[in-house]
């Protein structure tokens, strides 16, 4: 059994607290550090399945604000909240993009999306970079002034170029690796705040 299959502290904690995946604790840590999820905010969650991030955000919003989420797969936890829109679709699809942008503007765009991994690190890094570029394009189109972005990326050298792009449109952009990431994982997060409209 690989370490990815063994239930660790975070996975056990997620099950106990009703979340479908341990990734929720990465978002909690990011939010504690950067203060991104605010009461009454409109938020977009890209690559939302299995649904831990969306569920935690909706609990934090407590019936106020609004959350839109998108994924190719259905959510394992399908929250029944009036202020929640889930779009099952491809983030690259024009109709999907139109529906999500129409629900904005957003104060925060989040993405924990990752490509289906092949085992070839270079291929996986390239696919991850492509997703992040698409997420940044959503943010540039959908964020309100002052808004923020969080996007997961597989480390491999593309981060510097993406951070440079973000710094052209945000007051602050940096990388951040939450403690809840597995020690053997090569994922990290790009966090940008203070969005400036072009």
Averaged pLDDT, 155-183: 88
- In the chain, domain spans: 9-195
Q: How confident is the model at residue 25 (pLDDT cuts 50, 70, 90)?
A: confident
118 against 23, higher pLDDT: 118
Single out the catalytic residue among 152, 164, 177, 197. Answer: 152
Structure tokens of 9?
């502290």
Q: Which pLDDT does position 5 carry in this prediction?
A: 42
How many residues are present in the chain? 198
Cα distances (angstroms) measured from residue 158 to each of 10, 115, 150, 193: 28, 15, 16, 20
Residue with tokens 């270079």: 122
User: Which CATH topology does 9-195 take?
Assistant: Rossmann fold (3.40.50)
Distance between CA 86 and CA 57 in Å, rounded? 13
Averaged pLDDT, 119-140: 93
Q: Which pLDDT does position 17 carry in this prediction?
A: 65
pLDDT in tens, 54-91: 999 998 998 899 999 999 999 987 678 899 999 999 99
Q: Is 47 helix (H, G, I), strand (E, B) or coil?
A: coil
Catalytic site includes residue 177? no
């Amino acid at each position: 059994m690989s370490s990815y299959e063994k239930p660790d502290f975070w996975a056990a904690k997620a099950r106990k607290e009703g979340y479908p995946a341990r990734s929720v604790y990465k978002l909690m840590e990011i939010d504690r550090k950067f203060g991104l999820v605010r009461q009454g905010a409109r938020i977009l969650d890209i690559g939302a399945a299995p649904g831990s991030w969306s569920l935690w955000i909706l609990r934090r919003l407590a019936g106020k604000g609004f959350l839109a989420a998108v994924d190719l797969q259905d959510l394992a936890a399908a929250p029944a909240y009036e202020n929640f829109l889930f779009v099952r679709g491809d983030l690259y699809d024009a109709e999907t993009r139109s529906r999500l942008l129409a629900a904005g503007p957003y104060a925060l765009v989040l993405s924990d999306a990752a490509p289906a991994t092949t085992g070839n690190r270079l291929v996986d890094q390239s696919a991850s970079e492509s997703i992040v570029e698409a997420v940044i394009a959503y943010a540039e189109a959908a964020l309100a002034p002052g808004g923020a972005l969080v996007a997961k990326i597989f480390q491999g050298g593309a981060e510097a170029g993406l951070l440079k792009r973000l710094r052209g449109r945000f007051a602050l952009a940096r990388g951040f690796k939450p403690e809840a990431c597995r020690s053997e994982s090569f994922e990290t997060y790009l966090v940008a705040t203070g969005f400036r409209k072009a």
